[in-house]
Amino acid sequence: MTKEDIKREEELISGEVQDNETVEETAEEITDDSNESSDEEQTQKKMKSKKDKHEAQLQELGEKLAEITDKHLRLQAEFDNFRKRTMKEKAELIKSGGESVLVNIIPVVDDFERALNLMKDIPDEDAGKKGTQLIYNKFSEFLKQNNIKEIDALNQDFDVDLHEAITKIPAPDKKLKGKVVDVVQKGYTLNDKVIRFAKVIIGE
The secondary structure of 24-35 as a DSSP string is: HHHHHHHHHHHH
Q: What is the pLDDT of residues 103-160, one digit of tens each?
A: 888 999 999 999 998 998 898 889 988 999 999 999 999 988 888 899 988 888 888 8
Q: CA-CA distance, 22 to 104, in Å (whole number)?
A: 122
Which stretches of the chain drop beneath a pLDDT of 50?
17
Q: CA-CA distance, 84 to 93, in Å (whole number)?
A: 14
Does the 99-203 domain belong in CATH 2.30.22.10? yes
Q: CA-CA distance, 64 to 71, in Å (whole number)?
A: 11
Q: Are strands 193-196 and 188-190 parallel, antiparallel or unpaired?
A: antiparallel
In the chain, where the domains are located: 1-95, 99-203
DSSP string for 86-155 = HHHHHHHHHHTTTHHHHHHHHHHHHHHHHHHHHTTTS-TT-HHHHHHHHHHHHHHHHHHHTTEEEPP-TT
**Element housing 178 (H / E):** none
**pLDDT of res. 17:** 46
**pLDDT of res. 172:** 83
Task: Fill in the amino acid letter for 160.
Answer: V
**pLDDT of res. 51:** 77
Question: Are 191 and 95 spatial neighbours (Cβ–Cβ below 8 Å)?
Answer: yes
Q: How crowded is residue 190: how many other Cβ atoms within 10 Å of its Cβ?
A: 19
pTM for this entry: 0.52
